[in-house]
Amino acid sequence: MRFVLPKGRLLRGSLEVLQRAGIELRPPGERRLVERVGNHEVLLARAFDVPVYVEYGVDVGITGSDVVEERGSDVLVPLELPFGKCRLSLAMPNENRVDPEDMDGYRVATKYPNVTGRFFEKLDVEVDILRLSGSIELAPKVGIADAIVDIVETGTTLRANGLVEVARVMDVSALLLVNRIAQKTKFEEINGLVLGIKEAIENGS
């Protein structure tokens, strides 16, 4: 099987969960992005690109549910994995805090324009979405946005930048992704993998 794993903070949890299910993978070293391990091949990609690789042919991938929601990829998601837990939240400076329903005309900075757009559409609130790639908390601090939608784990980054959480947009967890065609052509291998991971999670092994 070919696996595409996220190369950042989700890599260690991804390797661990696969190992607990009996699949011993070794990430490529020395700047290489592909490694063959026995019958398997491991590819390393950015978390945001993992769903694209799986949709276009890599058998199995792991990334965050935030990424899958944002990219809207056509992949199967047979399992939620027990790591990468955090949330996507709407936050703003404490002194200008308002309810999301009262944010008409506000500018919201985010790395998640699609998820953010859907969140405000449901509330029937029109906001201007400013797409950034990282350090999102900077935008309200320097006055180029009124609020942000970003990942919150411990809340340290929000607090350090004078922001408060106003609403939870979604809970986030790592997910196992499977290519639709591989699910049919490699049915036994994929099912074995999904069952193996499920058992490992349930047994806490």
Instruction: Note whether 142 binds ligand PRP by CB under 6 A.
Output: no
CB 92 to ligand PRP: min, Å: 15
Handedness of CA 65, 102, 135, 128 (dihedral sign): positive
Mask 95-134, x = binds ligand PRP (CB under 6 A)?
---------------------------------------x
Query: Which residues touch 56 (CB under 8 Å, ≥6 apart)?
Result: none
Counting every residue written for the chain, the total comes to: 205
Residue 113, both tokens: 């324009």
Give yes or no for residue 205 binding ligand PRP (CB under 6 A).
no
Residue 155 touches which of ligand ATP, ligand PRP, none (Cβ within 5-8 Å per kind): ligand PRP
From 49-57, 115-123, 144-152, 188-196, span contacting ligand PRP (CB under 6 A): 144-152
All residues at 6 or more sequence positions from 106 whose CB lies less than 8 Å from its CB, including other chains:
127, 128, 146, 147
Query: CA 174 → CA 58, 60, 122, 137, 166, distances in Å?
Result: 18, 13, 25, 23, 24
Residue nearest to ligand ATP (CB): 8
Element (DSSP H or E) covering residue 152? strand 147-152
Q: Which is nearer to ligand ATP, 59 or 137 (CB)?
A: 137
Binding-site partner at residue 156 among ligand ATP, ligand PRP, none, CB < 5 to 8 Å by type = ligand PRP
For residues 15 and 10, give the distance between their C-alpha atoms in angstroms, rounded to a whole number. 9
Binding residues (CB under 6 A) for ligand ATP: these are 6, 8-10, 46-48, 64, 66-67, 84, 86, 134, 151, 153, 172
Instruction: Pick one of ligand PRP, ligand ATP, none as the site partner of residue 205 (Cβ within 5 to 8 A by kind).
Output: none
The phi, psi pair for 89, rounded to 5°, reads -130, 155
Least Å distance, CB 4 to ligand ATP, is 14
Which lies closer to ligand PRP via its Cβ, residue 5 or residue 182? 5
Q: In Å, what is the CA distance from 76 to each residue of 1, 40, 55, 62, 177?
A: 16, 20, 9, 11, 6
Of 19, 135, 185, 191, the residue at the interface with ligand PRP (CB under 6 A) is 135
Binding site for ligand PRP (CB under 6 A): 134-137, 150-157
